[in-house]
Each structure stands twice: as structure tokens, then as C-alpha cells.
Amino acid sequence: MKRMTSRERLLRAFRCQPTDRMPVRIWGVDHLTPSAKEDYRPLYELGQKYGLDLIRSWSATPPKPATPPPPPPAPPPRKQSNLPDMWETESVMQTPAGPLTQINYVPKDGSPGYVKKHYIETVADARKWLSLPVAKPTTPTDSYAEQAAKLGDNGIMMIGLGHAMYGVQALMGSEVFGFWLIEERPLLHEMVGKAFQRLELLAKHYLAAGIGDCYGWVGPELCIPPLASPRDFREFCIDYDKRLIALIHDAGKLVWVHCHGDMNPVLEGFVEMGVDCLNPIEPPPTGKLTLTDAKRRAAGRMSFDGGIEDGDFDMLTPSQMVAKTERIVAEVKPGYGFILGTTSSPNTRPKLDERHHANYRAYVETAMRLAAYD
């Protein structure tokens, strides 16, 4: 088979069609637009050396105003929290029915933070949020053409969308969400329905502009077992998402969805809703579904992206990473329809060290050595 461009390879992989080699990527590392982060340099060099496949997420760039804009608002003031290694910040969301407040913990070492108090804790809070109007999107799309031209045939452009259930869950956290799946189910549907209205309008806005090779989102992982049931997944994910996916497919675009966790009880749900590529597919022991079984059950109706556990870059030696990558490739290579990649971005760590660099090198070199289809 003749050598394909990365763009051709990825589009065909999404459709489970034959490709010259298995696409290989590092999620979150765009070697064509490297940042100034010195600890990422070895990863950019790997991408450049091997021509790794890119799924570039497009983000809108606001147009330059005719007059100088006012200074940006100051970041939320931080103060010492009750934890010695954490700052605390407070954010306020103004609604027609009154303000909502969230308090965040911010680690001093630059690690990802977490929420101390969510915006929504009571039904009254939910009613405040529901008072927010649904506005017609005006997000500019002018910057897309420039970003796509810079990418060229080195990959595909993905338009990032939110997720209705995920957006609502983020306002209240898993504990309240879990209780409300039982105690306030109609209210949750009202909230997810309103969040979906906003997403649908935004998707139509982007599709009318003709942008994107694929559209993608994250979030269904928060409505699968063990926190939620398969019934919950159907009502709050499948029943909403399949309407959005149909809209995207009608415009000739593809759909990529990110969902951590055990896919065993919900895999066919993603096939049913029409997902073209499911990420990241975490094999045992993280999940109960092997990569081989995932491909068998999808039966060419959906492709996959991932398979290389993010934690392995912290825990394994380079020789172990080579062996692990060899095993994963052997499982997923038959039958096409698999993009070999990491299950998360390197930015889950404050800084990459030599162990990470060596393991990323072992992964990429092994993957590229074995990627060609016979």
C-alpha cells in the first residue's frame, strides 16, 4: 500500500478502512506548534522525527477590536486554604436569579486543582442556574482556516464541543449528581436539556461555517458504572448525544469521544449513538474490557484511539514500556480501525522528568517499528 499522509491515515482509521500503517500519536503534544515548556522538548522532537499523527483541537481566536480593549479582569484572589500546600480561590457566577459561588483548591506546586465547594449544592442553586438565558452563539471562526493551513496534511482538525451531562455534573460534583440521579431526576433532565440546547446551537454555528474534520468532546465517563447505571448512561448520554452526532454526520463530519473508565457495560451504547472513534480504551486492570474484545464487539462500526496507559509512563522502565507497547500493538493491529495513543495528556504532571522522556521514547520507537500493516 502506498504511503499515506497523516490526514489520509487518520480519516481512514476513523472509518475502519485499510491504512498504510497504524496511526501513532501522543495526545496533547502538537509537534508543529511547540510551546516553550522545556520538559516537553523531547516529546516534540519525537513527533518531528517520526512524523507522528496529529489530531489538532481548534479553539476560536477572538477578532482584534478596532479600539484597545479594556484590561482583562483580575484573576480570582487567592488566599491560604486550610491545607498548607493549597491556595484557595473563589469564583462567582452571576445569574438573573442571584449569584452562585464555587471555591477551588489550587496546589502550590502547579498540579491540577480540585473543587472545595461547587456552584450547585441545592435545588435552589439549580433553579438559579436554570435562570440563565440560552443565547445564540457568536463565536468567530475566522482563525480556523489559518490553523488548518498550518496543519496541512500532517493531521486532522477537531472542533471541541462541551458535553451536556458533563457540564451539569461539573457544576455540582459527583456526590450531589449521584444522589440527584435518584432524588431529583426530572430536575437533572431539565438541566441537561438546557445545556444540550446551548451545545446544539453552537454545533450548528460551527457546521454552518463548514469547519472541522471531526467534532469531539469529553465527559460520558461521569455517567457510567460504578457511579451511574447503564440506564442513567442511556438517558443522560445516549439519548442526548445521538441527536448531536446525527447533526454532525449530516454535515459530513466525524465524531471523536473521550471516555475514561470501564467500557464493558456501555460499549455498545457508543456504537448505537454513532461515535466514529472512542478514546482512550483503558485495558485491564483499569477496565474489564480487553482491547481485542473491544474491537470484536465494535465489529468495524466504530474505531478506537488510545490503549497506552498514562500511568505506565510514571511506573514502568523503558524495557517494560517496549514490551507493553509490543503487546498492545499485537492486540489491536489486526483489522485496522485503531489509533495507537496515550490515554491522557502529559499535562497531568507538573513536570516531565528523565523517566518520562525515556518511556515516551520507548513507546514511540516501538510503535513506529511495528506500525506498518502487512
Quick one: average pLDDT of 108-130?
93
Structural domain total, the chain: 2
How many residues belong to the chain? 374
Q: Which residue has the higher pLDDT, 248 or 37?
A: 248
Residues 6 or more apart in contact with residue 88 via CB below 8 angstroms: 78, 79, 80, 81, 82, 103, 104, 105, 106, 116
* DSSP label of 238: I
Quick one: average pLDDT of 161-188?
97
Q: Kindly state whether residues 105 and 181 are assigned to the same domain.
A: no
Pick from 240, 297, 250: which is nearest to 273 by CA?
240
Q: Kindly state whether residues 194 and 245 are assigned to the same domain.
A: yes
**pLDDT reported for residue 111:** 82
Give the domain range for residue 25: 6-60+139-370
65 band by pLDDT with thresholds 50, 70 and 90: low
Q: In this predicted structure, which of 113-127, 259-273, 276-290 has the lowest mean pLDDT?
A: 276-290
Residue type, 5: T
What are the cell numbers at 273? 449513538
H/E run at residue 70: none
Residue 315: is its pLDDT beyond 90? yes
**pLDDT reported for residue 283:** 83
Give tens-digit pLDDT for 208-232.
999 999 999 999 999 999 999 999 9
Q: Kindly state whether residues 110 and 38 are assigned to the same domain.
A: no
Q: Can you tell me which residue has the cell 436569579?
A: 97
H/E run at residue 116: strand 114-117
**pLDDT reported for residue 348:** 83
* Distance in angstroms (rounded) separating the CA atoms of residues 193 and 134: 11
Quick one: average pLDDT of 344-348?
89
Q: Kindly state whether residues 35 and 154 are assigned to the same domain.
A: yes
Helix, strand, coil fractions of the chain, as percent rounded to 5: 45, 15, 40
* Distance in angstroms (rounded) separating the CA atoms of residues 236 and 168: 11
* Distance in angstroms (rounded) separating the CA atoms of residues 26 and 346: 9
Residue 335 domain flag: yes
* Distance in angstroms (rounded) separating the CA atoms of residues 5 and 7: 5
Residue 62: is its pLDDT beyond 70? no
Quick one: average pLDDT of 96-122?
92
Q: Which residue has the higher pLDDT, 288 or 169?
A: 169
Quick one: average pLDDT of 289-317?
95
- List the CATH number of the domain containing 313: 3.20.20.210
Q: Kindly state whether residues 203 and 279 are assigned to the same domain.
A: yes
Q: Kindly state whether residues 253 and 294 are assigned to the same domain.
A: yes
Pick from 291, 314, 355, 364: which is nearest to 52 by CA?
364
Q: Kindly state whether residues 145 and 229 are assigned to the same domain.
A: yes
β-pair type (78-80, 86-93): antiparallel
* Distance in angstroms (rounded) separating the CA atoms of residues 325 and 317: 12
Pick from 247, 290, 320, 338: which is nearest to 15 by CA?
338
Residue 67 domain flag: no
Q: Kindly state whether residues 104 and 247 are assigned to the same domain.
A: no
Percent of the chain residues topping a pLDDT of 90: 83
User: Across-strand partners of 304?
Assistant: 278, 338
CB count in 10 Å sphere of residue 271? 15
Mean pLDDT of the chain: 94
Residue 66 domain flag: no
* Distance in angstroms (rounded) separating the CA atoms of residues 296 and 194: 36
By the 8 A CB rule, do 214 and 254 touch? Answer: yes
* DSSP label of 21: B
Cα–Cα distance list, 353 to 40, 50, 109, 314, 350 (Å): 10, 21, 15, 9, 10
What are the cell numbers at 231? 440506564
Q: Kindly state whether residues 101 and 159 are assigned to the same domain.
A: no
What are the cell numbers at 43? 516529546
**pLDDT reported for residue 358:** 98
Residue 354 domain flag: yes
Half-sphere exposure of 147 (CA within 13 A, CB side): 21
Give tens-digit pLDDT for 21-50.
999 999 999 999 998 889 999 999 999 999
Q: Kindly state whether residues 180 and 263 are assigned to the same domain.
A: yes
Pick from 33, 14, 31, 36: which is nearest to 23 by CA?
14
**pLDDT reported for residue 287:** 81
